Amino acid sequence: MAYDVTDAAGPAGRPITGRQITGRTVLAIFLGFFGIVFAANFFLVRAAVTSFGGVETESSYKAGLDFRRDSEAAAAQAQLRWQVDAHVEPSRVVVSARDAMGLPLDGVDLAVELHHPTNRKLDMVLTPSELAAGQWSAPSDIPAGQWELVIDFTRGGERVYRSMNRIIVR
């Protein structure tokens, strides 16, 4: 049975005029819609990939070598069994260190840094002075917030101990 569209009546009794919706029309609308979606996704993905490659190091090979060196240094550090304590206040950082037998460390140099977790421009290098054997103090003006406290002990210019801890200054 065939229907004649020209005889059909629309709202208010007016005849329906215009193009008939066919399968091809629906297919064209469907393909056009998804074509626009795919084009927009392609543009956004391309913009994301070209603007930031996700690489934080200049050389992954060098980063791998550094990781291996750091792993070996961590193993050697664990064998020392040093006891290092740090007390952080907004006005100073106090560090005390003892060897495996509980004696104060002697003959080592201390370096103390505070790294900001999101803004490297806020990083601080503190200058510790020795208060007594195995105890140092570094005056500072530390703003409140989260910091990464990095403590390095060196002997003869070579790092023998490193401690990195996330702290919160109130």
- Digit-coded pLDDT (tens) for 127-170: 999 999 999 999 989 999 999 999 999 999 999 999 999 999 98
pLDDT band at residue 1 using 50, 70 and 90 as cut-offs: low
Name the nearest CA neighbour of 88 among 123, 117, 112: 112
Give the homologous superfamily in CATH for domain 81-169. Macroglobulin (MG2) domain (2.60.40.1930)
Average pLDDT, the chain: 88
pLDDT band at residue 22 using 50, 70 and 90 as cut-offs: very high
Q: Which residue has the tokens 């996704």?
A: 41
pTM, entire model:
0.63
Q: Residue 70 pLDDT more than 80?
A: yes
Say how many C-beta atoms besides its own lie within 10 A of residue 84's C-beta. Answer: 17
Coil, strand or helix at 120: helix
